[in-house]
Structure 1
Amino acid sequence: MDLAPPDLSARLDAIAPLREGAEFSWREAGEGTRTPLVLLHGIGSNAGSWVGQFEAFAAERRVIAWNAPGYGGSVPLPAAAPVAGDYGGALWRLMDHLGAAQCILVGQSLGAIMATAAARIAPSRVAALVLASPATGYAVPPGADLPETISRRISDIRELGPEGMAERRAMRLVTDKALPEVRALVRSAMASVNPDGYEQAVRLLAASDLPALLDGVSLPGMVVWGGEDVVTPPAGCRRIAEAFVGAQGIEIPGLGHAFATEGPQQFNEAIRPVLAAVDRARGN
């Protein structure tokens, strides 16, 4: 008899139920005196992508995963084409609401651009910055024509809707070896995007230039990526690691773009030294 794969989203709900405020929705679990871990998802995902990180780290510290503006129950930003600093400012509004003065900030894919923008706005609030499978951005000037890859993303969400887009794109985020429950979670997250919020995020991707955002950022950090990533391939991730002065670059073999979801144990082991270094510096 065929059995349905385990429901990772149900497991996450048991650990970190979805919470909602006036402006944001987010997941949160854990407590204690250690510096909180804050997780920013990618363009086709949501706060539910971090189930493996809640399971690994919520027993030792507070863990917070937002739904970015325009995702889940989070209110979209007012601008049709918001810039990275708009998302960075939004993050600090949520952190103020949650009373989190400082954090270890992890951004995955487009979330890496948002995280870096937040670090530029308030570097003293970021104890360490981890960029996972970072999106570089296209550095499109305001008013310029969008590259074909960006235009295709916008047409996909408008013409196909979230379900159709997930059918076309979701499995590019994982390898062929990904477990059925992982594939189901990744597809469900993409199928749940808000079209307007997703289009805002696509326009952010078009306008952003992550190496330029990293210029002048001086924080403990790491850039980490999957060796089989076809969305932000290893060569581009290595360039980001070179642009992030002082950061360690780590490639995890055998994993794709959504590797924190596909291979949570490997991802958690990779970033744990960053967390440990922050804890030692603060006497925890």
Structure 2
Amino acid sequence: MDLAFERRGTGAPLILIHGIGHHWQAWLPVLDRLAAARTVIAVDLPGFGDSPGLPAGTPYTPESLADAVASFCATLGIHEPAVAGNSLGGYLALELASRGVVSSAVALSPAGFWNRSEFLYARTVLRALRATARALPPEQAARMAEEPASRALSAGVLVAHPARLEPTALIAATQALAAAPGFDETLASFEGLMPPAPPKSPITIAWGEHDRLLLRRQAVRAARWSGQRVKLMKGCGHVPMSDDPALVARVILDAI
């Protein structure tokens, strides 16, 4: 499948997968650090960012999105890459590891380890973020991104340190969230979502210490599922790449 992507660096391939409503630019704070050691390909999932939607009749589910990433890699002639993902992207990384089609997988605060109340909370927050992004006029979104208090209000549930977010990055992320045609159906598919099958490839799971969307207690369930300790990313929120780029890059490179 043809997907929008950014490629940097040389060496063995590393595929980066964003979360629901985001785009490949979520990885910009860590991209060059990772590209110093790998050929890094940050991809827009179908129906998000600049990628086309899934073919007509194909439902948006984590499984179909994982199929699309696997197809995308095959189109580029990439076999068994390392993969890292955040949130929904973390779930997809684990799903690909369960299929044994990647050499290793890193999942940062992956979806799917919630209980019922935690899922309902996360869904409510995501719907509110989406509705706000779609309702904001562009000029108001730009003003909010520039003003520290408004930036903290709009981004504080996703990052631990909103002040570290570049205003242009927040504006672009808000626009991507508002425009994503795959958002609603993908979010609806999370109902009843369970962790993937046991992995056939090596995996590493890491969780933001201050994750306010997928609360860090979900890491305990991820540890039970994986049979290994989950790394705690100190000082980081749900989307940790802007909170501590050096730490996130180190977690990924050490794991793969």
- Shift of residue 186 of structure 1? 3.8
- Counterpart secondary structure, 2:241: helix
Counting only pairs closer than 5 Å after superposition, residues 23-38 of structure 1 correspond to structure 2 as 23-32=2-11, 34=12, 36-38=13-15
- Shift of residue 148 of structure 1? 7.2
- What's the counterpart of residue 278 of structure 1? none
- What's the counterpart of residue 272 of structure 1? 253
Cα distance, 1:57–1:180 mapped onto 2, change above 3 Å: closer
What is the CA–CA distance in structure 1 between the aligned matches of 2:61 and 2:113, rounded to whole Å?
A: 11
Percent identity between matched residues is 23
- Shift of residue 195 of structure 1? 3.8
- Shift of residue 101 of structure 1? 0.8
Cα distance, 1:231–1:30 mapped onto 2, change above 3 Å: same
Cα distance, 1:70–1:271 mapped onto 2, change above 3 Å: same
- Shift of residue 174 of structure 1? 1.1
| TM-score between the two structures when normalised by the length of structure 1 | 0.73
Cα distance, 1:26–1:158 mapped onto 2, change above 3 Å: same
Higher RCO (Cα < 8 Å, 6 or more apart): 2
Q: 1:233 aligns with which of 215, 223, 228?
A: 215
What is the CA–CA distance in structure 1 between the aligned matches of 2:42 and 2:57, rounded to whole Å?
A: 23
Q: 1:100 aligns with which of 78, 91, 94?
A: 78
RMSD over aligned Cα atoms: 2.9
Cα distance, 1:163–1:222 mapped onto 2, change above 3 Å: farther
What is the CA–CA distance in structure 1 between the aligned matches of 2:58 and 2:155, rounded to whole Å?
A: 25
| TM-score between the two structures when normalised by the length of structure 2 | 0.81
Cα distance, 1:114–1:169 mapped onto 2, change above 3 Å: farther
The count of residues paired between Structure 1 and Structure 2 equals: 239
- What's the counterpart of residue 116 of structure 1? 94
- What's the counterpart of residue 133 of structure 1? 109
Alignment of 1:161 with 2:138, yes or no, is no
Cα distance, 1:180–1:66 mapped onto 2, change above 3 Å: closer
Kindly indicate whether the alpha-carbon contact (under 8 Å) linking 1:133 and 1:223 is maintained by their aligned counterparts in 2. yes
Counting only pairs closer than 5 Å after superposition, residues 69-108 of structure 1 correspond to structure 2 as 69-77=46-54, 78-79=56-57, 81-108=59-86
- Counterpart secondary structure, 2:47: coil
Kindly indicate whether the alpha-carbon contact (under 8 Å) linking 1:71 and 1:197 is maintained by their aligned counterparts in 2. yes
Q: Specify every segment of 5 or more residues in structure 1 that has no aligned partner in the other structure, as ranges.
A: 1-21, 141-145, 276-284
Q: 1:205 aligns with which of 177, 183, 190?
A: 190
What is the CA–CA distance in structure 2 between the aligned matches of 1:152 and 1:229, rounded to whole Å?
A: 13
Alignment of 1:253 with 2:238, yes or no, is no
- Shift of residue 116 of structure 1? 2.3
Q: Specify every segment of 5 or more residues in structure 2 that has no aligned partner in the other structure, as ranges.
A: 145-152
